[in-house]
A and B are shown apart, each in its own frame.
Chain A
Amino acid sequence: MQTFDAIVIGAGVIGSSVAYHLARLGCSNVLVLDRTQIGAGTTAQSSGILRTHYSVIENVRMAQASWRVFNDFAGYLGDEEASAGMVKCGYLIAAPDGAKLDPLRAALDAQQAQGIQVRLLDRQEAQALLPIARFDDAGLIGYEPEAGFADAYLVTTSFARAARRLGVRILEGVEVERLLLENGKVAGVETSQGTFRASTVISTQNIWATDIERWTGIASPVVPERHAVLALEEDANPYTFQMPVYKDLGSPGMLYCRSYGGKQMLVSEGTVGETLATPDNEQGDISMDYMVEVGTQVAERFPAYETAGVASTWTGVYDVTPDWNPVLGRLPDVPGLVVGYGFSGHGFKLSPAVGQVLAQAALGLETEVDIAPYSLERFRTGGLLTGKYGLGAVS
């Protein structure tokens, strides 16, 4: 039987980041276990958008710390071959006059107060940045130049490789069957490949975090929610890498759009998806009705895309909590257990900072960003982190 200083369950982007940060902080006798392969779960389905725009200030801080890492990813990992696959095209967010206008103004003000470079654009400026969209109904347009999108799978494998170089062991194809408790304290895990001992276990299991409830009896308020993504192609009006990510608060589905391959438009709704009865990240069916529903909204905002072709479609699954924000930190009732789940569709953009704070929490260090607001207790005490745009991954 092997003993480790810490065991991380799940080698998605969060788990890999935690493992790397543990080693970076000097704790390299770490084991990471993944039921399938590194980054093969919900991570691989991420749309990869990077922004610090949030209506919840704690998220702004976490995203800001993460952006600094993404911005110099190879330097941060000390691995010149590491890449986040970043396209720094900026982030544009617009709302028409109406209910979303005030929250947008407040969120932009809060970003500026954090020292984040955010500008208000007039319609012509926005049009110049994203000529394929129309802005004639825009009441307020915010632009964050230090933003864009990256590749979640590349980031995950880069974190994993850097962790391994520092001595971390990552095993794929190992299913954790039970959390081992002794005198109420974490003692390790029982897996399909035998028992591994550690007095600290960090669960970064995304939609599979309901295992925690099964193992400890402590509720993990997370439901798997499937979201669909379309890639649209309009030859005469490509969505280029120079064009910013666009968030359309005016559309019923609060669409988000970005360039896909420098030519196509990746688009999805930023609202509530389809709840699944059991955690499963397999590709789900996307009905023709749904494609038409999203396509109609796209055509409304991007007139040239009215006749666009559907190049491909796929689904991804979010681990959604009641306030669409994650649960981070130690579970006080189970000494030795640290959790990070419930990212509700915006985990990738927070993954460097989350990895760092969870590693710090696991090692009993002070965390870089205060994670008290993300505690599980908030669902009992009512200190929810609900975003100002309603339910959805903007948070």
Chain B
Amino acid sequence: MHILVPVKRVVDANVKVRVKRDGSGVETAGVKLSVNPFDEVALEQAIRLKAQGLASHVTAVTCGPAAAQDVLRTALAMGADDAVLVESAEVDDPGPLAIARWLRAIVAQENATLVLCGKQAIDDDLGATGPMLAALLDWPQAMSVNQLEVRPDNTLAVACDADGGTERLALPLPAVLGVDLRLCEPRHITLPALMRARKAAIRTVPATSLADAGTPPVRPRALLEPPPRPPGVRAENLPALIERLRALLALQAA
């Protein structure tokens, strides 16, 4: 089983996200960028499956400009066997459909039989790429996977978060899985692994050679900072507080 793990380079979870002055996007200059935490979990799971002898090869892939290689080096340091950069232009987010099209081409090139990805990226929280990729490949998919077992007959048994509780699904391979943070705890990268990954070769494929990105079906109109939260109100005493609460519309309706 050859596992493909798509990873996305995102603004680190500890950074306060700011909109660029001209409103054209999120400020990334000089800001800490990291592997999307959901993708890190997918990587960890893939590496564990290989360590258990259930997978033969783990390939990490990312789409973006040359600088996006950073996340591939992190993936290699964690234990991915090799890494592919689908190089696209610096400008404009290509959107999930274009990325799913490029990934479909990579899946074919690599003969991957399982795509393990994060269920969403923490920057746009869309969660669209995995399902789109599964649809393009016409493979079964499971999203929000928090338990995974590879059965002796080479089918997958997964548990997923669903509206009504936990869904238990069985899937044949090949398949696309979008993983939740609870699936497993990503390992720490060790210093020797960092040193190796720093020098490792990364294959680069121009995005244009894979598939036509097409016109994104969704186009952002504007990007705005959320309005500042109004300050809290201090009640003089308990009766005043109760009075204020009584006046709240939400409580009146009840």
Does A233 lie within 8 Å of B73, measured CB to CB?
no
Given contacts A307-B190, A310-B190, 17 further A-B contacts (CB under 8 A): A233-B188, A276-B30, A282-B15, A282-B16, A282-B31, A282-B32, A283-B12, A283-B15, A284-B32, A285-B33, A286-B32, A288-B73, A289-B198, A291-B191, A292-B198, A309-B188, A309-B191
In the assembled complex, B85 has its CB within 8 A of some CB on chain A:
no
Shortest distance from the beta carbon of A342 to any chain B beta carbon, whole Å = 23
In the assembled complex, B194 has its CB within 8 A of some CB on chain A:
yes
Classify chain A: how many residues form its interface, as a range: 20 to 34
**CB-CB contacts of A276-308 with B at 8 A, as 1s and 0s?**
100010111110110110011011000001111
Shortest distance from the beta carbon of A286 to any chain B beta carbon, whole Å = 7
Tell me the nearest residue of chain A to B18, going by C-beta.
Answer: A282
In the assembled complex, A311 has its CB within 8 A of some CB on chain B:
yes
Task: Please list the 3 inter-chain residue pairs (A to B) with the smallest Cβ-Cβ separation, ordered nearest first.
Answer: A309-B188, A295-B191, A283-B32
User: B33 contacts which chain A residues (CB < 8 A)?
Assistant: 285
Does B194 lie within 8 Å of A292, measured CB to CB?
yes
Classify chain B: how many residues form its interface, as a range: 20 to 34
Does A284 lie within 8 Å of B31, measured CB to CB?
yes
22 CB contacts below 8 A, A to B, read A276-B30, A282-B15, A282-B16, A282-B18, A282-B32, A283-B14, A283-B31, A284-B32, A285-B30, A285-B32, A286-B32, A291-B194, A292-B194, A292-B195, A295-B194, A295-B195, A299-B191, A306-B192, A307-B192, A309-B187, A309-B191, A310-B194
In the assembled complex, A173 has its CB within 8 A of some CB on chain B:
yes
Shortest distance from the beta carbon of B31 to any chain A beta carbon, whole Å = 6
Cα separation A251 to B137 with both chains bound (whole Å): 54
In the assembled complex, B189 has its CB within 8 A of some CB on chain A:
yes
Within 8 A of A (CB), among B13-46: 14-16, 18, 30-33
Within 8 A of B (CB), among A224-239: 232-233
Tell me the nearest residue of chain A to B12, going by C-beta.
Answer: A283
Q: Which of A276, A282, A296, A308 contacts B190 (CB 8 A)?
A: A308
Cα separation A151 to B14 with both chains bound (whole Å): 19
Does B32 lie within 8 Å of A288, measured CB to CB?
no
User: A310 contacts which chain B residues (CB < 8 A)?
Assistant: 188-191, 194
Shortest distance from the beta carbon of A90 to any chain B beta carbon, whole Å = 27
In the assembled complex, A29 has its CB within 8 A of some CB on chain B:
no
Known: A283-B32, A288-B70. A305 touches B16 (CB 8 A): no
